[in-house]
């Protein structure tokens, strides 16, 4: 081809369209006003919020799910837990592409946030949270409507006694922890959770075990 420039094609500038020159500051302002694209959102979820790539990919795949997630994590410090509950429990019940695209769950993002805060505060553990979320989705009620005061306080579980028992019955794990082996603490937490059949609040158990072991 011998034609290389626009002049060769006899292009003419449209006289009614003016040249617009923008400063870098104006360009930045325009960029900031644009909605966040899925790739950028995925990167932020993984790198800033610490969400797994698998969970982040599933959430950003559906715009309405991503919007719901953003609203649910507002004011919390638990985006990973929120993402996990959406991808596991909620997606298992809202399980078609159409339903996920439309995303009209029977509970609001605020109700999911309330449940996540209960986990974050150590009032319930993740197993109870998943069971409660399933009930919330079935009945369209909030966690505070479904959980009794006893359940929110760990039930009739004597966390103190269970922690003491775990320490007394696992001298090897105690010795390892006191030597600086952090993994040994997980073994003690596991012993308490097993004894309580998963009902003891794991965060509280871990904190109390650390206090008890620090006194040794």
What are the sequence ranges of the domains in the chain? 38-152, 159-214
CATH of region 159-214, choose from 3.40.50.620, 1.10.10.410, 3.40.50.300, 1.25.10.10 = 1.10.10.410
Q: In 3D, which of 159, 205, 200 has the Cα closest to residue 186?
A: 205
pLDDT tens, residue order, the chain (216 aa): 555 665 566 666 777 888 889 999 999 999 889 999 999 999 999 999 999 999 999 999 999 999 999 999 998 879 999 999 999 999 999 999 999 999 999 999 999 999 999 988 878 888 889 999 999 999 999 999 999 887 776 555 788 999 999 999 999 999 999 999 999 999 999 999 888 877 787 888 999 999 999 987
Q: In 3D, which of 82, 119, 88 has the Cα closest to residue 202?
A: 119
Distances (CA, A) of 103 to 13, 66, 198: 47, 10, 31
Which residue do the tokens 């206090």 mark? 211
| Helix H or strand E encompassing 57 | helix 53-61
User: Are 92 and 122 spatial neighbours (Cβ–Cβ below 8 Å)?
Assistant: no
Give the tens place of pLDDT for each residue, 110-122. Answer: 999 999 999 888 7
């Amino acid at each position: 081809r011998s034609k290389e420039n626009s002049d060769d094609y006899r292009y003419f500038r449209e006289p009614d369209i003016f040249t617009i020159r923008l400063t870098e500051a104006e360009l930045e302002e325009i960029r900031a006003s644009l909605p966040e694209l899925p790739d950028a959102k995925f990167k932020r979820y993984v790198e800033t919020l610490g969400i797994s790539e698998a969970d982040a990919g599933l959430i950003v795949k559906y715009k309405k799910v991503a919007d719901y997630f953003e609203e649910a994590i507002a004011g919390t410090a638990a985006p990973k837990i929120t993402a996990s509950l959406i991808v596991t429990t909620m997606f298992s019940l809202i399980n078609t592409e159409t339903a996920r695209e439309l995303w009209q769950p029977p509970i609001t993002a605020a109700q999911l946030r309330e449940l996540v805060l209960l986990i974050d505060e150590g009032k319930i553990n993740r197993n109870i949270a998943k069971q409660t979320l399933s009930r919330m989705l079935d009945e369209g009620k909030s966690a505070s409507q479904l959980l009794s005061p006893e359940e929110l306080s760990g039930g009739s579980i004597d966390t103190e006694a269970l922690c003491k028992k775990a320490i007394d019955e696992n001298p090897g794990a105690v010795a390892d922890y006191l030597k600086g082996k952090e993994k040994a603490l997980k073994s003690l937490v596991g012993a308490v959770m097993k004894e309580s059949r998963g009902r003891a609040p794991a965060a509280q158990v871990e904190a109390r075990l650390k206090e008890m072991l620090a006194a040794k």
